[in-house]
């Protein structure tokens, strides 16, 4: 079956395009889906407060919640932004913890 279809792919494609040009709805939809597949995500234009330290995540989270309440963000968009904030905070916490451990190790090494 694949070989049969492969041999007719050009003709089938041309026919679909012709039908789409004539206004055939399903053919037009098929062509449009191939030209520009539906996006799974869209860009979000949302004013986030500056985040310079972990404590700023509280203000940013409040802005996200307000964005949902005001209808600027969908719950899904808010969830995505919240995950990004959480990733940032975890990264900062990890760097801070590593620095603290290194400082403790240096102090312990100096005393020995």
Tell me whether residue 92 is in a domain.
yes
pLDDT above 60: residue 111: no
Tell me whether residue 69 is in a domain.
yes
Q: Same structural domain for residues 67 and 105?
A: yes
Q: Same structural domain for residues 61 and 107?
A: yes
Domain that holds residue 6: 2-35
Q: Same structural domain for residues 65 and 31?
A: no
Tell me whether residue 74 is in a domain.
yes
**pLDDT band for position 99 (50/70/90)?**
very high
Q: How do residues 59-70 score in pLDDT, each as one tens digit?
A: 999 999 999 999
Q: Same structural domain for residues 30 and 60?
A: no
Q: Same structural domain for residues 31 and 64?
A: no
Rg (C-alpha) for the chain, rounded Å, is: 27
User: What pTM value is reported for the model?
Assistant: 0.57
Tell me whether residue 11 is in a domain.
yes
Counted domains in the chain: 2
pLDDT at 71: 92
CA dist., res. 79 & res. 69, Å (int):
13
Tell me whether residue 46 is in a domain.
no
Q: How do residues 29-70 score in pLDDT, each as one tens digit?
A: 888 888 776 767 777 788 889 998 888 999 999 999 999 999
CB neighbour list of residue 9: distance below 8 Å, 6 or more residues apart: none
């Amino acid at each position: 079956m694949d070989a049969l279809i492969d041999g007719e792919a050009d003709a089938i494609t041309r026919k679909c395009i012709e039908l789409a040009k004539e206004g055939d709805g399903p053919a037009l939809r098929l062509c449009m889906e191939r030209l520009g597949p539906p996006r799974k995500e869209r860009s979000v234009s949302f004013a986030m407060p500056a985040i310079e330290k972990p404590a700023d995540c509280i203000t940013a989270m409040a802005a996200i919640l307000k964005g949902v309440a005001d209808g600027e963000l969908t719950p899904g968009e808010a969830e995505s932004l919240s995950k990004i904030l959480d990733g940032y905070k975890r990264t900062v916490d990890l760097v801070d913890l590593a620095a603290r451990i290194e400082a403790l190790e240096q102090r312990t090494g100096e005393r020995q």
